Chain A
Amino acid sequence: MDASQANSMLNSFDEEMEDFELEVSHREGTQLITFILGSEKYGLKILKVRELISYPEVMTRIPGMPDFIVGMINLRGLVIPVIDLRLRFGMDIGEYDKYTVIIIVQVENKMIGMIVDSVADVVYLEDEKTQASTDISTNIDTQFIQGVANIRDDMVILLDVDHLLSEQELVQLNN
């Protein structure tokens, strides 16, 4: 020997592996963070989110920028632009209160803050539960929407962050 001993080691590893896989299988799908804008609930892939912060004391306005670019914040030494999603989607301006959250989104090393009314939950979305965006009517421009999903009896509008922050959009944003 000890082939048997080696075998028992392997077996115990495999058993442990099975348990682990079983546990993981219960959490399938994409993890989303959901937030509220007006009367609607939106979802955003959690992997795009870097962190959540409350509305800061100091917001520095950027000269010559459209209204929805609210300004820049100092996030522990990083200077990050912040947009107001309500204004971006052409909704009425909301009041910034203690529920107001800035979602710091990271796409390819770039960061931007998005002001939302409040953050709701973290949920799992199974891919087959998504409907195409053409099927729905909502307040906002459908081009930023990937689709709609029913999660725990709640309608969640899935936001396409990549598109929202795409080159083309930002060129327009800069003009």
Chain B
Amino acid sequence: MTPDQLPLEEFLEEADDLIQELESSLLELESNLEDRSIIDRIFRAMHTLKGGAGMVMQNELSEYAHHLESLLDQIRKGVVGCTIELVSTLLKANDCIISFIKKIRGEGEVDEDLKQTTLKELKSYSNPQSEPVVEEKKEPPPQPEKPVKTQKSQKQTFLITLRFQEEFLKLGSDPLLVFSQLSELGEMSVIPHLSEMPDYQADDPEKLYMWWSIKLSTEHGLEDIENVLIFFQEGNQLNIQSIDTPDEGQTQVVKAHEQMIRDAEASDDASTEEEQNQKPKPSAEPTIEEEKGEQQNQSPPSPQTPVPDKAPKKVDEKLEEVQVVQSIRVQVDKLDKLQNLVGETVINQARLMRLSEEIAAIDENLGEMVLQFVEDNETSVRELQDQIQQVRMIEMGSIFTPMKRIVRDFAVKNDKKINLDIHGADTELDKTVTEQLHGPLVHLIRNAMDHGIEKPQEREKNGKESAGTITLRASHQEGFVIVEIEDDGKGMDPQKIFEAGVRKGLVSEGDQLTDMEIFQLIFQPGFTTTTEVTSTSGRGVGMDSVKKQIESLLGNIEMQSQVNQGTMVRLKLPLTLAIIEGMIVKVGLQVFTLPLLSVVEALKPLERQVKHMKRSGELIDIRGEFIPLIRLHQKLQLEDAIEDPKEGLVVVVQQGNQKHCLLVDEIIDQRPVVIKNLEDHFIQVPGLAGATIMGDGSISFILDVSSLVNS
């Protein structure tokens, strides 16, 4: 993100929050039409949105929000009465705002039809007696002030010196970014200075040794240049020198500049020594030079340079503002990087542990000491891992709450009465997992509303309450997150599903399936029992895609249903995508990782447990349950593996309602592993969900149980 996109990006993030608040407040208002506090809340959110849109020059949105705000103001003052229809219009208007935001993000267009209809409807509500016209004059969409300023100023030349700290690149900053920003302001020429480059041998490729002088001819003022540099003030030496402003202090300015160059040169030579001694720099602080960090307190402005200082104060103020903030927005990819690094640390910790055991074998005393240290370190590393994970966790309420609107709209449109009960909205889950859960969740709820919940008359006939209930439940269990979507609708008849399965050719008539296995058919591609296709669901592409998405999150999906009682879908998800609990197994010469989430048990089968069936191939009899055997070495085409199940081990894995036995040579370990995506780098391998790095630096592939057993 470039600095000048920051305000817009900030606005968009804020807008997302506001839209969500508007929506939940509107839904609340719908059942409490007279509640002033809700109306106030809606008004405030709309006002903030309008103002924000104006600030980032989104005038179309600002204007639209203004109309809404005016109407809300009238409702607030009691001039206009609040009705169900009005709330409906406001909800539609909120959708329209969403389309505005999408457009600003470059992801779509403004829904013009919706905009026109809502505007028309808004007009019909607003009281002609009150003064929308006056209002508009009184409060035009805020015009940004910047252009006015820049028009006033004429073309000026600035000499800019950029000396970033050596750690600049390590901090993730990029000088090129600064240049591209500056070049947008006007005509620019840059001279790179290599004088500080160290010897070839001493060169640290991660350090920045170059500095630059820049000549910039621009119509923009000093302030705009400062704005580009504001994010780099800390720890760097940045100088901006205005050259041809006829100004009283100019002689001083120029002198200061020359002095500055001399000082800078002097301080260069001494810089190494200086850093070691933590001696205050003898450099001057002319114009806007800013030195933040420790040195700021220590270095007094040098006495021989009287400095006209109007700019630095402003910069200071801005920086201080930032420091007051108690929570910060962080880009998710920064967290991803951080989490990856922590992952590396976890791996290295495992490596250290091995190493210290080796040391102990050679020198017991030394080994003991090292081991002690490594164990201490382990505690910190675990803590670090937990903490970073905590940071990434968000409450599931963020995806549960929008479901209210979906349920409401559906119920209104389809003459059904549906309540949505939400439990455990404060259950926390990794942000990425939570976001990717949204699609499947919408799908499952639509299914429940469309195929599950009956029309009120039908419900009454069956002795149920006329309003159906969908329950959305989230909870933590055994280190996983369980999400349940349950309805009290008509349920599914296993017999009918079986028949549909036969029609689709998924099973044959004579097959004996348990109810569990029958429900599993629903997850097969192209499966559907409904004959008619509705706009909401029933195209038969549903559940298999839900299953795929859940499995891509390394989760598991199960379904239970009883006729006339309802249906429940249960999702089991890992807390995070970055680190999973893994079972490390050996097959032939290679080591693989199985997600523990799919593992039920592991055992060494006895002779009598191994059965051969003509149709189903090899089965393992585990306490009366016959589970098909998959030889991993065959699936993965590996040599030198154990081929007799009695000599190796079978790991029982479960995907959905299905179980399989995987034949492996041995189980090596069970521990958290850091997932590395394979698709990141060109290659997708069927049967592999990713890779992880072992304690000795070697790579172990994480097996994708679902695609392994289905291929």
Judging by beta carbons under 8 Å apart, are A63 and B683 in contact?
no
Q: Which residue of B lies closest to A63 (CB)?
A: B636
| Contact among A6, A165, A174 with B254 in the assembled complex (CB-CB below 8 Å) | A6
Q: Which residue of B lies closest to A107 (CB)?
A: B682
Judging by beta carbons under 8 Å apart, are A77 and B340 in contact?
yes
Judging by beta carbons under 8 Å apart, are B191 and A20 in contact?
yes
Asked, given contacts A6-B250, A74-B693, whether A64 binds B699 with beta carbons under 8 Å apart, the answer is no
Judging by beta carbons under 8 Å apart, are B683 and A10 in contact?
no
Judging by beta carbons under 8 Å apart, are A63 and B687 in contact?
yes
| Contact among A16, A58, A74 with B191 in the assembled complex (CB-CB below 8 Å) | A16
Tell me which of A14, A20, A79, A173 has the highest count of chain B C-beta atoms within 10 A of its own C-beta. Answer: A79
Judging by beta carbons under 8 Å apart, are B681 and A74 in contact?
no
Q: What distance in Å separates the Cβ of B9 from its nearest Cβ neighbour in chain A?
A: 21
Residues 68-97 of A, flagged 1 when their CB comes within 8 A of B and 0 if not, give: 010011100111110000000000000000
Q: Is A122 part of the contact surface with B, judged by Cβ < 8 Å?
A: no
Q: What distance in Å separates the Cβ of B705 from its nearest Cβ neighbour in chain A?
A: 15
Q: What distance in Å separates the Cβ of A22 from its nearest Cβ neighbour in chain B?
A: 12
Q: Is B647 part of the contact surface with A, judged by Cβ < 8 Å?
A: no
Judging by beta carbons under 8 Å apart, are B243 and A9 in contact?
yes
Q: Is A102 part of the contact surface with B, judged by Cβ < 8 Å?
A: no
Cα distance, A78 to B685, chains bound together (Å): 17
Judging by beta carbons under 8 Å apart, are A62 and B683 in contact?
yes
Q: What distance in Å separates the Cβ of A32 from its nearest Cβ neighbour in chain B?
A: 21
Q: Is A110 part of the contact surface with B, judged by Cβ < 8 Å?
A: yes
Tell me which of B683, B685, B698 has the highest count of chain A C-beta atoms within 10 A of its own C-beta. Answer: B683
| Contact among A1, A9, A174 with B684 in the assembled complex (CB-CB below 8 Å) | A174
Cα distance, A63 to B680, chains bound together (Å): 18
Per DSSP, are chain A's interface residues mostly helix, strand or loop, or mixed? mixed
Judging by beta carbons under 8 Å apart, are B683 and A9 in contact?
no
Cα distance, A170 to B678, chains bound together (Å): 13
Residues 6-27 of A, flagged 1 when their CB comes within 8 A of B and 0 if not, give: 1001100110110010000000
Q: Is B631 part of the contact surface with A, judged by Cβ < 8 Å?
A: no
CB within 8 Å of A: which of B679-701? 680-688, 691, 693, 697-701
Judging by beta carbons under 8 Å apart, are B254 and A79 in contact?
no
Judging by beta carbons under 8 Å apart, are B681 and A112 in contact?
yes
Contacting residues, chain B, for A79 (C-beta < 8 A): 676, 678, 681, 691, 693, 699
Judging by beta carbons under 8 Å apart, are B250 and A2 in contact?
yes
CB within 8 Å of A: which of B212-257? 213, 215, 243-244, 250-251, 254, 257
Q: What distance in Å separates the Cβ of B191 from its nearest Cβ neighbour in chain A?
A: 5
Q: Which residue of B lies closest to A106 (CB)?
A: B681
Q: Which residue of A lies closest to B683 (CB)?
A: A81
Asked, given contacts A13-B159, A58-B698, A79-B691, whether A165 binds B682 with beta carbons under 8 Å apart, the answer is yes
| Contact among B189, B257, B697, B700 with A17 in the assembled complex (CB-CB below 8 Å) | B189
Q: Is B638 part of the contact surface with A, judged by Cβ < 8 Å?
A: yes
CB within 8 Å of A: which of B658-711? 676, 678, 680-688, 691, 693, 697-701
Q: Is A123 part of the contact surface with B, judged by Cβ < 8 Å?
A: no
Q: Which residue of B lies closest to A175 (CB)?
A: B686
Cα distance, A16 to B686, chains bound together (Å): 59
Tell me which of A6, A20, A58, A72 has the highest count of chain B C-beta atoms within 10 A of its own C-beta. Answer: A6
Q: Which residue of A lies closest to B344 (CB)?
A: A77
Judging by beta carbons under 8 Å apart, are A60 and B243 in contact?
no
Q: Is B327 part of the contact surface with A, judged by Cβ < 8 Å?
A: no
Tell me which of B254, B682, B701 has the highest count of chain A C-beta atoms within 10 A of its own C-beta. Answer: B682
Cα distance, A109 to B257, chains bound together (Å): 42
Q: Is A52 part of the contact surface with B, judged by Cβ < 8 Å?
A: no
Contacting residues, chain B, for A77 (C-beta < 8 A): 340, 343-344, 347, 693
Asked, given contacts A10-B215, A60-B590, whether A5 binds B685 with beta carbons under 8 Å apart, the answer is no
Q: Is A132 part of the contact surface with B, judged by Cβ < 8 Å?
A: no
Per DSSP, are chain B's interface residues mostly helix, strand or loop, or mixed? mixed
Judging by beta carbons under 8 Å apart, are A81 and B682 in contact?
yes
Judging by beta carbons under 8 Å apart, are B685 and A64 in contact?
yes
Asked, given contacts A20-B192, A63-B637, whether A1 binds B685 with beta carbons under 8 Å apart, the answer is no
Q: Is A49 part of the contact surface with B, judged by Cβ < 8 Å?
A: no
Cα distance, A31 to B651, chains bound together (Å): 54
Contacting residues, chain B, for A129 (C-beta < 8 A): none
Residues 159-172 of A, flagged 1 when their CB comes within 8 A of B and 0 if not, give: 00000010000100
Judging by beta carbons under 8 Å apart, are B590 and A111 in contact?
no
Judging by beta carbons under 8 Å apart, are B681 and A58 in contact?
no
Asked, given contacts A9-B243, A74-B693, whether A64 binds B698 with beta carbons under 8 Å apart, the answer is no
Q: Is B576 part of the contact surface with A, judged by Cβ < 8 Å?
A: no
Contacting residues, chain B, for A69 (C-beta < 8 A): 683
Q: Is B157 part of the contact surface with A, judged by Cβ < 8 Å?
A: yes
Contacting residues, chain A, for B688 (C-beta < 8 A): 62-63
Judging by beta carbons under 8 Å apart, are A112 and B682 in contact?
yes
Residues 83-124 of B, flagged 1 when their CB comes within 8 A of A and 0 if not, give: 000000000000000000000000000000000000000000
Judging by beta carbons under 8 Å apart, are A9 and B681 in contact?
no
Cα distance, A150 to B7, chains bound together (Å): 51
Q: What distance in Å separates the Cβ of A142 from its nearest Cβ neighbour in chain B?
A: 22
Cα distance, A17 to B190, chains bound together (Å): 8
Cα distance, A10 to B257, chains bound together (Å): 12
Q: What distance in Å separates the Cβ of B505 from its nearest Cβ neighbour in chain A?
A: 26
Q: What distance in Å separates the Cβ of B69 from its nearest Cβ neighbour in chain A?
A: 43
Contacting residues, chain A, for B192 (C-beta < 8 A): 20
CB within 8 Å of B: which of A109-124? 109-112
Asked, given contacts A6-B250, A20-B191, A78-B676, whether A60 binds B698 with beta carbons under 8 Å apart, the answer is yes
Contacting residues, chain B, for A60 (C-beta < 8 A): 590, 691, 698-701
Q: What distance in Å separates the Cβ of A92 from its nearest Cβ neighbour in chain B?
A: 24
Judging by beta carbons under 8 Å apart, are A1 and B691 in contact?
no
Asked, given contacts A13-B215, A17-B189, A58-B697, whether A65 binds B685 with beta carbons under 8 Å apart, the answer is yes
Q: Which residue of A lies closest to B255 (CB)?
A: A5
Cα distance, A1 to B250, chains bound together (Å): 7
Contacting residues, chain A, for B700 (C-beta < 8 A): 60
Judging by beta carbons under 8 Å apart, are A13 and B213 in contact?
yes
Contacting residues, chain A, for B636 (C-beta < 8 A): 63-64
Q: What distance in Å separates the Cβ of B293 from its nearest Cβ neighbour in chain A?
A: 29
Q: Which residue of B lies closest to A6 (CB)?
A: B243
Cα distance, A91 to B16, chains bound together (Å): 56
Q: What distance in Å separates the Cβ of B351 from its nearest Cβ neighbour in chain A?
A: 12
Residues 35-72 of A, flagged 1 when their CB comes within 8 A of B and 0 if not, give: 00000000000000000000000101111110001001
Asked, given contacts A62-B701, A77-B693, whether A110 binds B682 with beta carbons under 8 Å apart, the answer is yes
Judging by beta carbons under 8 Å apart, are B698 and A9 in contact?
no
Q: Which residue of A lies closest to B684 (CB)?
A: A174
Asked, given contacts A2-B254, A10-B157, A13-B159, whether A110 binds B681 with beta carbons under 8 Å apart, the answer is yes
Q: Which residue of A lies closest to B690 (CB)?
A: A79
Contacting residues, chain A, for B250 (C-beta < 8 A): 1-2, 6
Contacting residues, chain A, for B191 (C-beta < 8 A): 13, 16-17, 20
Q: Which residue of B lies closest to A81 (CB)?
A: B683
Cα distance, A114 to B538, chains bound together (Å): 48
Contacting residues, chain B, for A173 (C-beta < 8 A): 682-683
Contacting residues, chain A, for B676 (C-beta < 8 A): 78-79
Q: What distance in Å separates the Cβ of A109 from its nearest Cβ neighbour in chain B?
A: 8
Cα distance, A57 to B369, chains bound together (Å): 30
Judging by beta carbons under 8 Å apart, are A9 and B682 in contact?
no
Can you list 27 pairs linking A and B with CB atoms under 8 Å apart?
A: A1-B254, A2-B254, A5-B251, A6-B244, A9-B159, A10-B215, A13-B159, A17-B215, A58-B698, A60-B590, A62-B688, A63-B637, A63-B638, A63-B685, A63-B687, A64-B636, A64-B685, A65-B685, A72-B691, A77-B344, A78-B681, A110-B680, A165-B682, A173-B682, A174-B683, A174-B684, A174-B685
Please name the 9 residue pairs, one residue from A and one from B, whose CB atoms are nearest each other, closest first. A63-B636, A60-B699, A79-B676, A79-B691, A81-B683, A77-B344, A6-B243, A5-B254, A111-B681
